[in-house]
Homo-oligomer: A and B are copies of this chain.
Amino acid sequence: MTAATPNAATVTRSEVEDFLFLESSLLDEWRLEEWVELFTLDCTYEAPATDAPASDPGQTWSLIHDRRTMLEQRVIRLKKPEAHAEFPHSQTSRIVGNVRILDRGPDAVSVSASFLVSRMKAGKFDQYAGHYYYDLVQGEDGFKIRRKKAVLAHDRLAPQGKISFVL
């Protein structure tokens, strides 16, 4: 399903969607090692604190603010049986919609999308809704994620509680 190398100037929404739907399926299937490989080595992955979505991640507390190494460690941790919160894994179904190409640089496209993650764990059904912001660059075969920012449309995490999976 990998697209040919996309060109930032001509990439279509449909190509971006193909990539984001692939990413979602890796997350829904807990194929997190493959998911990490979608990111560039200089990537950032960020989920801002829900009460300050526009704040500078270097200055304020973020829910998540990972560079590549931290992202790999997060994945190792989530796949460990000792990660009690996620063993057995929760079942999730992600919908990524409203995909928009916001900007096209020489080698990257900026993209926004809406997401809704439905999650069932031990009989408890939770949902996480918000917006994604991506910078996608052209890798050798298809896109790579240079930046992913997941902004929850929640002003606090209750009633859904702590996030123990990847948005």
Contact = CB atoms under 8 A, between A and B. Distances in A.
A17 B17 CA distance: 13
Interface stretch (A21-29, A37-45, A72-80, A137-145): A21-29
Contacts of A17: 13
A116 to B, nearest CB: 6
A45 to B, nearest CB: 19
Contacts of A118: 116, 127, 129, 153
Interface of A: 1, 13-14, 17-18, 21-22, 24-25, 28, 91-102, 112, 114-116, 118-123, 125, 127, 129-131, 153-156, 158-160
B95 A130 contact: no
Total copies of the chain: 3
Given A1-B100, A13-B14, A93-B116, 12 more contacts: A18-B100, A21-B100, A24-B98, A25-B112, A28-B153, A91-B154, A92-B153, A95-B95, A96-B98, A97-B97, A118-B129, A125-B160
A18 B17 CA distance: 13
B96 A97 contact: yes
B114 A155 contact: no
Given A1-B100, A118-B116, A93 B25 contact: no
18 contacts: A13-B17, A21-B100, A22-B100, A24-B114, A28-B131, A28-B153, A92-B153, A93-B129, A93-B153, A94-B98, A95-B95, A95-B98, A95-B116, A97-B97, A122-B155, A125-B127, A125-B159, A125-B160
